[in-house]
Amino acid sequence: MAIISKDSVWVQPQSYFGILQSHIKALKMDTGTLSAMIDTWSKIESGTEVTKLDPNANKISLSNGKEFSYKALVLGAGFDHSCENIEGLAEFDQGHDDNNVFVHQLDSKARLERNFYNGFMHRGGDYLNYSPAVPYKGEGTDFYSLYYESLLRQDKLIGAAAAGSKVQYWSPNKFIYAFPYANEVALEECDKRGVEVNLGWELLSVRQDAHTKVATFKNVDTGEKIERDFVGANVNPPSKQHKFILDSGICDNTGMVDVNRYTLQHNKFENIFAIGDCISG
């Protein structure tokens, strides 16, 4: 038995919001080390990634040059989730948090310190909340628009925010939540609180002009492009399937690992199982 991971500990996304608001300690963000979680006779290959999977030969190749054969394989690769997937977002992400652009990317405790201020500083203009096309990492946990609206409302009461400023929610999806009843409730609440909802729009890029920040969106139906000024944003970047999985032939026509959703066993290769964001269904 071997565990292969590019990290020696894993981020626990369910702790993200609680830590962000200081309800629980940042230590909860990481799991224990791999060596503490498995028996000593198991092999650990950390700090490396799978670069090739050959399901017909039952072999995987690693970025450190090693190759493993397997009797059974469990894939929990998640998604490739990076701010690099939106033009200009990495530059904001690498800048100081006073640029007021925050990336919803669950990758480290360091990001928690930066993202603590997300939603707090949208004074003077509009604040953007963006969710990418489904499926994506953090799906269902990144709709913070109502939270941001409550902060903005308090700022308006004390004259710390412009009277006409508002929260805007953008997404290429045609819904906030994939579950109809939850989606209906969220949309009604947005309407009640004055949150502007823009569905069917993909975020292409963000940039800093001389006196303002600008986001470029594309309509997923018509291809029309528009630009919007903003003063702050919380952006969940698009998630992509890992290339070694796409190249392996174990995906369905949507690019997701083709497993039985009840048993998590692959529908063609019986000795492959998969779990998490990378699977179909």
Residue 53, strand partner residues:
60
The answer as to whether 163 is a domain residue is: yes
Distance between CA 151 and CA 240 in Å, rounded? 32
Same domain, yes or no: 253 and 233: no
Same domain, yes or no: 94 and 137: yes
Same domain, yes or no: 125 and 215: yes
Same domain, yes or no: 103 and 203: yes
Strands 127-130 and 232-235 turn out to be parallel
Same domain, yes or no: 115 and 218: yes
Q: What's the domain range around 72?
A: 2-80+240-274
Distance between CA 172 and CA 217 in Å, rounded? 9
pLDDT over threshold 80, residue 281? no
pLDDT value for 159: 84
71 vs 52, 58, 74, 77, 99, CA distance in Å? 17, 7, 10, 18, 50
Same domain, yes or no: 232 and 119: yes
30 vs 27, 44, 104, 123, CA distance in Å? 6, 18, 17, 33
The answer as to whether 279 is a domain residue is: no
Same domain, yes or no: 25 and 109: no
Same domain, yes or no: 36 and 47: yes
Distance between CA 99 and CA 128 in Å, rounded? 13
The answer as to whether 201 is a domain residue is: yes
| List of E strands, the chain | 2-5, 43-46, 50-54, 59-62, 67-69, 73-75, 80-81, 101-103, 127-130, 167-171, 196-199, 201-208, 213-219, 225-230, 232-235, 239-240, 272-274
The answer as to whether 164 is a domain residue is: yes
Distance between CA 84 and CA 221 in Å, rounded? 24
Total tally of structural domains belonging to the chain: 2
Query: Model-level pTM?
Result: 0.88
pLDDT value for 63: 95
pLDDT value for 122: 66
The answer as to whether 281 is a domain residue is: no
**Per-residue model confidence as pLDDT tens digits over 82-113:** 899 999 999 999 988 888 999 988 787 788 88
The answer as to whether 10 is a domain residue is: yes
Distance between CA 114 and CA 168 in Å, rounded? 21
Span 159-177, average pLDDT? 92
Distance between CA 115 and CA 110 in Å, rounded? 9
**Per-residue model confidence as pLDDT tens digits over 107-160:** 877 888 888 888 776 667 899 999 999 999 888 888 989 989 998 998 888 888
pLDDT value for 124: 72
pLDDT > 90: percent of the chain: 59
Same domain, yes or no: 182 and 86: yes
CATH number for 17: 3.50.50.60
DSSP secondary-structure letter at 9?
S
Same domain, yes or no: 193 and 229: yes
Distance between CA 97 and CA 9 in Å, rounded? 26
**Per-residue model confidence as pLDDT tens digits over 210-266:** 888 999 999 999 999 999 999 999 999 999 999 999 999 999 999 999 999 999 999
pLDDT value for 185: 97
85 vs 77, 82, 91, 104, 203, CA distance in Å? 18, 6, 12, 13, 10
Same domain, yes or no: 14 and 25: yes
The answer as to whether 280 is a domain residue is: no
The answer as to whether 117 is a domain residue is: yes
DSSP secondary-structure letter at 85?
G
**Per-residue model confidence as pLDDT tens digits over 42-95:** 888 988 999 999 999 999 999 999 999 999 999 999 898 889 999 999 999 998
pLDDT value for 52: 97
Same domain, yes or no: 16 and 149: no
- Residue 238, Cβ neighbours under 10 Å: how many? 21
Q: CA nearest 131: which of 203, 229, 230? A: 203
